[in-house]
Amino acid sequence: MPAITQATLADVPELNVLVNSAYRGESSKQGWTTEADIVGGARIDEEMLTGYMQDENVIILKHTDDDGYITGCVYLEVKYPKLYLGMFSVSPLLQNKGVGRALIEEAELYARKYNCHTLTMTVISTRFELISWYERRGYNATGEIQPFHAHGRFGDAKQHIELIVMEKSV
């Protein structure tokens, strides 16, 4: 039975593979969330994931399939009174099968658990299909625009990229 639970340090290698496969490289092009044409390099690495696991304000939720394989994940960071969502990833082969919807619904439960009344995230401004997906789930653009991370920590932009901030009240 598929389940959503909190990821642990033991999950770092599998999470690293999943997140990079969902966003970058040829495998990501099998799904609709790929950034491979606009951002190069790795989306994340094991060192960064380990750091997240050791941060008391960060929770990574994982979605596992019947065989216990991680098929999706989402990064949650308490920035009271908001809960930041990031690194939202679903295996490219399983997109459009409800995994992402289940993860985002669980993130909303965590927001309430931590007394955060707003979920917030950033999305690449040219990812119109992704923005529409979030809008269908009640997220709205705030009008705030942020630059893409120029330090290369999340990959190297192949073009000018801006991030829009989207939020949802819960």
Specify the pLDDT at position 22: 82
For 3-169, which CATH superfamily applies? Answer: Gcn5-related N-acetyltransferase (GNAT) (3.40.630.30)
Q: What angle do CA 88, 94, 95 make, to 5 degrees?
A: 55
Specify the pLDDT at position 96: 79
Specify the pLDDT at position 148: 78
Dihedral pair phi/psi, residue 92, rounded to 5°: -55, -30
User: What is the spatial distance between Cα 131 and Cα 166, in angstroms, rounded to a whole number?
Assistant: 9
Q: How confident is the model at residue 20 (pLDDT cuts 50, 70, 90)?
A: confident
Query: Long-range pairs for 125-129 at CB < 8 Å and ≥24 separation?
Result: 125/161, 125/162, 125/163, 125/164, 126/38, 126/161, 127/35, 129/32
Specify the pLDDT at position 142: 97
Give per-residue pLDDT as tens, 53-69: 999 999 999 999 999 99
Residues shown for the chain: 170
Average pLDDT over residues 4-12: 97
Report whether pLDDT(52) > 90.
Answer: yes
Which position has the higher pLDDT, 22 or 102? 102
Is residue 166 within 8 Å of residue 104, measured between CB atoms?
no
Report whether pLDDT(30) > 90.
Answer: no
Specify the pLDDT at position 95: 78
Average pLDDT over residues 122-149: 91
Average pLDDT over residues 145-158: 69
